[in-house]
């Protein structure tokens, strides 16, 4: 056997990304930080190109923009405003999903399981007597034949309905999830960008559910002075505003949504820095910018208790390290008997995905 060695050819062996691929990767990253503002992302790229020489003779920044339009990632209206397209929105969701899955320390993809046996796809070693309507592929052939032999012996062997046994399976359940995202001004205070990882996590979770859990539902609720629903196509553009934090309104909106869902298992994922600072009383806003006002906090805790009574588990993802704020999250969790994670910004997606994928409910109502 002979081997022929030659100089490494990047293009031939596909080892090096093209200039477009490198620029597109950077463009997607910048879109995460600009809340989907294509013009601002391209402006940043221009500055980076001038400083670090990102482009080459084969593709300048103008060529890159034209290629984005040609491939359907950008569009320009009659006034010359450049926007990303639905294709780009889908790319951002997939990219966010891949990024978070790459960082998962544990867990695997799969359906949400409960400790109950029933209709499902994964066989268990345990068996039971066959019942009319059971799937034939679950038949335990060895156990069935053994039953027949024990009953009749070898010489006069026959097979009856009572001999048949089938494997048990995991009971698979669907989950209705509402993801609440805090868009109050505190999410960008003190030089810490908390909204970008929250937005990225929402994009990834939406993609996960649409591609891996089609029977699950995901609704997004953004909250600031009030609360409102956000569609999947609007996720890349979520951004903070000059808002207070009306956590109570967010929980109320989430409960209203889950009440309409037919899924047996219902949960709320709450991404916040943990500082409720306003609510509505008799149609008027009561606010306290310092946060954790007793009048406001008690109303939020009341909502947590109502969620518990309605079988809705609240999982809070706390992205601030202030012990005073963390104490509020602990009280919220106790009132709901839910769960809480105190995650750093770069761990938010990992924590949320681990909880979602490995979620197991002890009761099915």
3-state secondary structure 274-330: CCCCEEEECCEEEECCCCCCHHHHHHHHHHHHHHHHCCEEEEEEECCCCHHHHHHHH
Residues 163 and 252 in one domain: no
Domain count, the chain: 3
Full residue range of the structural domain in which residue 32 is found: 13-84
Residues 216 and 290 in one domain: yes
- 363 within some domain: no
Residues 31 and 77 in one domain: yes
Residues 204 and 351 in one domain: yes
- In the numeric block, which tokens belong to residue 43? 């402006």
- 3 within some domain: no
Residues 338 and 207 in one domain: yes
How far, in whole angstroms, is CA 159 from its chain's centroid? 50
CB 215 within 8 A of CB 254: no
Task: Give me the torsion for CA of 146, 148, 151, 154, rounded to 10°.
Answer: -90
Residues 342 and 218 in one domain: yes
155, 171, 187: which is the final residue of a domain? 171
Calpha distance 204→189 (Å, rounded): 24
Calpha distance 176→120 (Å, rounded): 19
pLDDT of residue 324: 80
Residues 158 and 28 in one domain: no
Cα-based distances in Å from 315 to 135, 177, 214, 234, 353? 36, 11, 22, 23, 12
pLDDT of residue 105: 38
Residues 134 and 258 in one domain: no
Low-confidence ranges of the chain (pLDDT < 50): 105-121, 360-365
137, 171, 205: which is the final residue of a domain? 171
Which of 128-157 are b and which e, b meaning 16 or more Cβ less than 10 Å from the residue's Cβ? eebeeebeeebbbeeebeebbeeeeeeeee
pLDDT of residue 109: 37
CATH number at residue 23: 1.10.10
CATH number at residue 334: 3.40.50.410
Calpha distance 105→99 (Å, rounded): 12
Q: The whole model's pTM is what?
A: 0.75
Residues 212 and 263 in one domain: yes
pLDDT of residue 22: 92
- 95 within some domain: no
- In the numeric block, which tokens belong to residue 275? 């500082």
- 340 within some domain: yes
Phi, psi values for residue 357, rounded to 5°: -70, -35
Calpha distance 126→113 (Å, rounded): 17
- 342 within some domain: yes
């Amino acid at each position: 056997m002979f081997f022929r060695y030659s100089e490494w050819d990047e293009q031939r062996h596909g080892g090096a990304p093209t200039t477009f691929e490198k620029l597109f990767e950077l463009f997607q990253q910048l879109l995460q930080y600009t809340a989907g503002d294509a013009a601002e992302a391209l402006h940043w790229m221009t500055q980076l190109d001038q400083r670090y020489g990102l482009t080459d003779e084969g593709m300048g920044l103008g060529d890159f923009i034209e290629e984005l339009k040609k491939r359907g990632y950008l569009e320009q209206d009659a006034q010359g405003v450049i926007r990303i397209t639905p294709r780009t929105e889908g790319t951002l969701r997939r990219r966010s999903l891949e990024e978070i899955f790459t960082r998962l320390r544990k867990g695997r993809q799969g359906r949400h399981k409960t400790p109950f046996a029933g209709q499902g796809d994964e066989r268990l070693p345990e068996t039971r007597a066959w019942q009319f309507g059971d799937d034939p592929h679950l038949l335990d052939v060895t156990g069935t034949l053994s039953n027949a032999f024990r009953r009749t012996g070898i010489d006069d062997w026959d097979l009856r309905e009572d001999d048949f046994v089938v494997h048990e399976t995991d009971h698979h359940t669907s989950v209705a999830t509402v993801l609440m995202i805090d868009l109050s001004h505190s999410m960008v205070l003190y030089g810490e960008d908390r909204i970008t990882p929250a937005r990225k996590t929402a994009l990834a979770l939406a993609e996960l559910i649409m591609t891996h859990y089609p029977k699950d539902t995901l609704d997004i609720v953004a909250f600031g002075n009030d609360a409102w629903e956000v569609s999947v196509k609007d996720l890349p553009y979520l951004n903070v505003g000059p808002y207070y934090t009306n956590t109570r309104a967010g929980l109320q909106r989430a409960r209203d949504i889950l009440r309409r869902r037919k899924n047996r298992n219902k949960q709320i994922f709450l991404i916040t820095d943990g500082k409720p600072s306003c609510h509505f009383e008799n149609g008027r806003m009561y606010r306290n910018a310092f946060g954790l006002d007793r009048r406001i906090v008690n109303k939020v805790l009341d909502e947590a208790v109502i969620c518990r009574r309605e079988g809705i588990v609240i999982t809070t993802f706390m992205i601030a390290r202030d012990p005073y704020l963390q104490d509020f999250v602990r009280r919220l969790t106790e009132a709901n008997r839910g769960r809480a994670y105190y995650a750093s910004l770069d761990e938010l997606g990992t924590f949320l995905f681990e909880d979602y994928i490995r979620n197991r409910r002890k009761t099915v109502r």
